[in-house]
Each structure stands twice: as structure tokens, then as C-alpha cells.
Amino acid sequence: MKVQNKVIVVTGGGNGLGRELVLSLLSRGARVAAVDINTSALAETAELSGVKNDNLTTHAVNIADKGAVEALPDHIISQHSAVDGLINCAGIIQPFVRLKDLAYEAIDRVMNVNFFGTLNMTKAFLPHLLMRPEAHIANISSMGGFMPFPGQSIYGASKAAVKLFTEGLNSELIGTNVRVTIVFPGAVGTNIMSNSGVTMSEKMVSEQCAMKRLMLSSNKAARIIADGIERDRHRILVGKDSAFMDFIYRLSPRGAARFVYHQMKSLLPA
């Protein structure tokens, strides 16, 4: 689906990859409804949109709140007249700890935002998308959605749920006007840690600085995703690391999991 003159809803539009998706879509001639829980972050996105600001609306909504999400389609349609696409990008990570040390509150928060937020938005907007001549849903999973990362087991479970939910949705919508895309970003330079409220140790700060030069920039990742949506791709691997880990995990799940463990074990508390 070409996005020019289409109305696209983007969650997580206040920062990071979500913000870059908003800006990329606007640059391609789309009208965008940016959704985020952070009002000030949305205002920054609006300011960055520059001359494209007239094609952007912002909506401060907690996507884990079913009632607020159910009211959102009518509100956005009243401003844009229609909705043609939905990109579920909002997501958070968990503290880098083993499951035995992870609080239930943190578990609920990750699942509510990453999985139930995606589910809520999809369920609320799908009836409207089915009425359009063509429409598109893209859900952002993660490398952690198809292979395990120690210290991020619940985050991975939430993104794996997004993966299978999206694949199931795609099967349900065969023969309709709605195309579905699942996205697996690798390491992308965003501020997801601070937005997730995750405190970094000195070791983690050092590791992140060393990794930064290897990370894909968020604006380049957004371009890859937007290109894939316009080509109606079912599956998008964002970054060479995502493509590589997808390959080796299919080749040897146990070997790939051990490789990742050795790369990340230093980030976990003893």
C-alpha cells in the first residue's frame, strides 16, 4: 500500500523508532495520527515535523487502557475522515534481571504495553480498516520475538506473542483488503531503556557505548519499515544483525541461544 494521501496511525510516535516512522511517513505524503502516552514527547514530534505539521495529529493515550483505545478510532476519524493503516510500534523492555528477580509489576507492565497494547489497537481499528479500499497493519516485534535473550525473557515472550498474533491475523485476513506485516528490528539506536524506566549499570552504559556504532540508526530503520509496508511485505528483518540471527537460529536454535548468552551474560547481575 502506497502511503501517499493515506491516514496512518502510529503508536509510540513520541520518541525513538515510532517518532522516526511518523516523520518518514509524513515525508512520503501520508497523513499521520501519532499516539503516545507522553504528551511532551508528542509535542516534540510535532515540532520536528516542520512544514508537514498540518498533516499530523497527536493523541496522548495509554494503549494498555482498553476504554481509551476503543474511543480512539472515532476521535482520529473525526480529524482525518478515515484510517487506512496502523503501525503498532510502542514497546518497552524489562529490567536486565533473571526471571526469579523480576517483580510481577514489571512483568504486567511489559505484557500490557507490548502485547495487549498491540492487541487493543488492532481490535479497535480493524473494523474501520476493513471498510477501506486498501489498508495495512504493521506490528513491530523484535529479534527477541524469535530467539531468547537472557535477562529479557518476559520482553521476549511479549514480542513472541506479537509475532504469532500478527501471523495469525494475516491468515485470518487472507482474501480481504487488509495486508499485514510483522517487523523484527535488530539493534536500533533509540532511547528505549530510559523510556522503559530501566536503570543502566556502569557495565551496561559501557557496553551500550561500544555497541552504538554498530546499531542501525532509528531513521534508517524507519525507512526500511516504510519501504516494506509500501511493498506489502509480510515479514521485515530490520538490520543485518536481525537477518543474521534469524538465519542462525533457524539453523541451530540451541547454538544461537548459547551464542547470545555469551554475548550478554556480563549484563546480568550475579
Active site residues: 155
**Which of these, 138, 140, 43, lies nearest to 85 by C-alpha position?**
138
Helix axes 16-27, 218-230, angle to 10 degrees: 50
Q: How crowded is residue 255: how many other Cβ atoms within 10 Å of its Cβ?
A: 11
- Is residue 184 within 8 Å of 143, Cβ to Cβ? yes
Say how many Å lie between the first and final Cα of the chain, rounded: 49
Sign of CA pseudo-dihedral 251, 254, 259, 265:
positive
